[in-house]
Amino acid sequence: MKLRRSGRLVDMTHYLLERPHQLIPLTFFAERYESAKSSISEDLAIIKQTFEQQGIGTVRTLPGAAGGVQYIPKMAAEEAEEVVAYLCEQLSRPDRLLPGGYLYMTDILGDPRIMNKIGRLYASMFADRPVDVVMTIATNGIPFAYAIANFLYVPVVIVRHDNKVTEGPMVSINYVSGSSKRIQTMVLSKRSLAEGANVLIVDDFMKAGGTINGMISLLQEFNGNVSGIGVLVESEEAKERLVDEYISLVKLSEVDVKEKRIAVKEGNYKAFL
């Protein structure tokens, strides 16, 4: 359908935002709008400039016959700080404290408004690493994984604690929970992950890192590569950390159940922005 520049700008912006990281040939847009490639290039320059100026991301152009344009979601340091400050403020509310020193986070994980920002922030930090899928463990990690996968435009695979589900043949491993030292099991459907995939491992909460470590072991059964590790909240309490390299937004530094006090500070994410 023939569109004027103003209409093209609106439609191209939507088209690109819907497909982060996907390479789109210039000829696709030229045909879509019955416009010259030179006009399309001018449109893309405007979109790129606005995206960068407004902290939305960037538009990358790859030259050559196999080339095209890609929208790369990014988040500016300033907006990232706002997101983390909001999380810290939310998580330090004393009514979040549950018996055992756990924190109620379900409302945050259930809110697409904040989760989309968190997803864009992680996608921004992992933008230049090879990621074929995002892996997490049921149940609380799922919204976090989807939020990131949406902005990396890759599938999610979900590891489970049980194999009662109907997913066909499963691969299972045992792992030791870092904090409770108990032996537990995690399983992944055999057909849900291709051999040799590049995998971003994420979870909403990390104490000693036993669960993350378990996912790394499980991934080895599929000959996969760890592209990175992301956790929303890490607990500083852990004496012995089983995982070395990870990105966290928030660090829980003190939980005092008796005094109903929670101390949170920002995680290590700034080094990866």
The residues binding a copy of itself (CB under 8 A) are: 1, 3, 5-7, 9-11, 13-14, 17-19, 46-47, 49-51, 53-54, 56, 98-100, 102, 104, 106-107, 110-113, 116, 133, 138-140, 142-143, 146, 149-150, 153-158, 160, 165-168, 189, 191-192
The answer to whether 117 touches 87, Cβ cutoff 8 Å, is: no
Q: Pick between residue 139 and residue 268 the one whose CB is nearest to a copy of itself.
A: 139
- Where does the chain have alpha helices with state H? 5-18, 26-32, 37-53, 77-91, 106-109, 112-125, 141-152, 210-220
Residue with tokens 């408004």: 113
Give the separation between CA 212 and CA 136, rounded to whole angstroms. Answer: 9
Q: Pick between residue 41 and residue 266 the one whose CB is nearest to a copy of itself.
A: 41
Q: Which residues make beta-bridge pairs with 188?
A: 171
The answer to whether 30 touches 40, Cβ cutoff 8 Å, is: yes
CB of 54 to a copy of itself, least distance (A): 5
Say which residues have a Cβ less than 8 Å from residue 249's Cβ, sequence separation at least 6.
Answer: 83, 84, 87, 118, 121, 232, 233, 266, 267, 269
Is cis: bond before 185, omega within 30 of 0? no
CB of 237 to a copy of itself, least distance (A): 15
CB of 228 to a copy of itself, least distance (A): 18
Q: Pick between residue 18 and residue 270 the one whose CB is nearest to a copy of itself.
A: 18
CB of 158 to a copy of itself, least distance (A): 7
Give the separation between CA 212 and CA 242, rounded to whole angstroms. Answer: 9
Supply angle C-alpha 229, 233, 236, rounded to 5.
100
Q: Pick between residue 170 and residue 266 the one whose CB is nearest to a copy of itself.
A: 170
Q: Pick between residue 27 and residue 50 the one whose CB is nearest to a copy of itself.
A: 50
CB of 236 to a copy of itself, least distance (A): 19
CB of 178 to a copy of itself, least distance (A): 17
Q: Which amino acid is at 224?
A: G
Q: Pick between residue 26 and residue 266 the one whose CB is nearest to a copy of itself.
A: 26
